[in-house]
Amino acid sequence: MLTKTIPWRFLCTVLSALPLAATAQASEQNAGGQQICTAKTLDAVGHFLKTEPFSMGGVVVAAACKSFPSDRSLTLVSAAYDGNIQDGKALVIALVDEPRGQVVSSYRGAIEEHAAMRIVASSLRLDTPPYVLAPGVRAFGLDLTSKELFHPCIEGGWGTIRTLYVREGAQIRPVLVDLIKSEWDAVQGTANCPTSPEPPIIESFKLTLSMSRQSSHGYRDIVVTASSSRDDGLASTRKPFRHTLHYDGRMYDQEGMRKAFSQWRAGKLTISERP
């Protein structure tokens, strides 16, 4: 997740990274409103990483835990922590066998930070709907939000970023990387700008994922749909966006979807569907 490439480089219409929808997205938690990790679970991850103590308020900056859907004895853990990474945080995703207190599957990466993106305690959320990619293969999602930083006079930004992972034995592997779930544009004026000659009107874009019945290279295709809304009470004139992502044997390629989505946002494309 955000380990090598930065997803906002392809958002040519976004002039700033203020995550206007981040607050709402971060509040989408599981039962009790939070995905709290117990000290015992984090201790198991810290022992695996040889980083002890491994706790919130210490080396761990953000963490989320959730029962693994197919085996309730396993806890799915995501944690961003200080790992001597320049301009970012280390990321670990792990499956912890609770009875044994051991990590049985894991992924290690990094999350880049910069002036418009800071990881805070509420930045991570695990998502476990039935993303059944193939018989016996169920993906799960990790949502990333950043701290909302104030930037005056801006024209656009985005909210939550989702990455999908699959477990392959002792390894956890990303298969869909950095899908931006929500974006916004100022269609009139500029946001947070006291000198703007007119009040801003914001158009928001929301993306959702669903599973297709068709498959590519053994994994089911993923359908991305998007819709828009305005905050001035007027109905959006855009038709819903639709695009199918295909697995290439290693990853779900988003390049065609990103290009089509940018055209749709710019009003040059009413609907898109990759064959």
In angstroms, the Cα distances linking 182 to 61, 162, 228 are 24, 10, 10
Q: pTM to 2 decimals?
A: 0.82
- As a whole-number percent, the residues of the chain with pLDDT over 70 amount to 77
266 secondary structure, DSSP code: T
User: Which of the four pLDDT bands, split at 50, 70 and 90, describes residue 152?
Assistant: low
Whole-number pLDDT of residue 196:
67
Whole-number pLDDT of residue 189:
61
3-class secondary structure, 91: strand
User: Which of the four pLDDT bands, split at 50, 70 and 90, describes residue 191?
Assistant: low
Q: Count other C-beta atoms under 10 Å from residue 44's C-beta.
A: 23
Q: How far apart are CA 77 and CA 235, in angstroms?
A: 41
Cis before 53? omega within 30: yes
3-class secondary structure, 47: helix
- For the chain, give every domain's residue range: 12-265
The residue-averaged pLDDT of 114-119 equals 76
pLDDT at 70 over 80: yes
Q: Which residue has the higher pLDDT, 27 or 272?
A: 272
Main-chain phi, psi angles of 162, to 5 degrees: -115, 140
The residue-averaged pLDDT of 64-89 equals 93
Strands 102-112 and 124-134: unpaired
